[in-house]
Amino acid sequence: MNRSYSKIRHIQESNLRLEKRMLSEQVNPVTTSGTTEQPAKQQPTSQNPLCNSSTGTAGTGTKTPYMVCVWKDQFATYIKLTDIAKGTTLASVYDQDFVKANTQFFDKVDAALPGKRIGVDLPMPINPDN
């Protein structure tokens, strides 16, 4: 019995060392021959969407009570507008291409929130291809 506890403890300690090493590599990128490698651009996915809650181009304007999120997978680009306070989805679309999805999104937002304009009263979707 004593031996199995020792093995478990060894595995736990090894896992902790590995986790610390991985975390330190994420914080301090690995250097090769004196140059620091830049981390790769992270692709927007459902796990990591591009979100914006401000008006104007790329969220440079004022904060709104709405959040627009954009993400992609191998099949389509998805755009979703949410009321932050209520946690409800107001408009949601997907299409193979961002431009088509964005056009459909504008139409759905116009139907769901008449009188509100994207970029002026509502946040603007961010193109995941840029």
Summarize pLDDT for 33-78 with one digit per residue, the tens. Answer: 555 554 455 555 656 788 888 887 655 678 888 989 888 888 888 9
* Beta-carbon contacts of residue 53 (< 8 Å; ≥ 6 apart): 59, 63, 64, 66, 67, 68, 84, 123
Give the residue, 79 or 29, on which the prediction is more confident. Answer: 79
pTM above 0.85, yes or no: no
Q: Are 128 and 50 in contact (CB under 8 A)?
A: yes
How far apart, in whole angstroms, are the C-alpha atoms of residue 112 and residue 126? 20
Residue 107 is predicted with a pLDDT of 92
pLDDT tens digits, residue range 98-118? 889 989 999 999 999 899 888
pLDDT of residue 18 exceeding 50, the answer is: yes
In the structure encoding, which two tokens stand for residue 103, read together? Answer: 């056009």
Structure tokens at 57: 């181009």
22 compared with 118, residue with greater pLDDT: 118
Task: Give, in order, the Cα–Cα distances in Å from 69 to each of 3, 48, 72, 91, 125.
Answer: 52, 10, 10, 11, 7
Q: Which residue has the higher pLDDT, 16 or 86?
A: 86
More confident residue, 31 or 106: 106
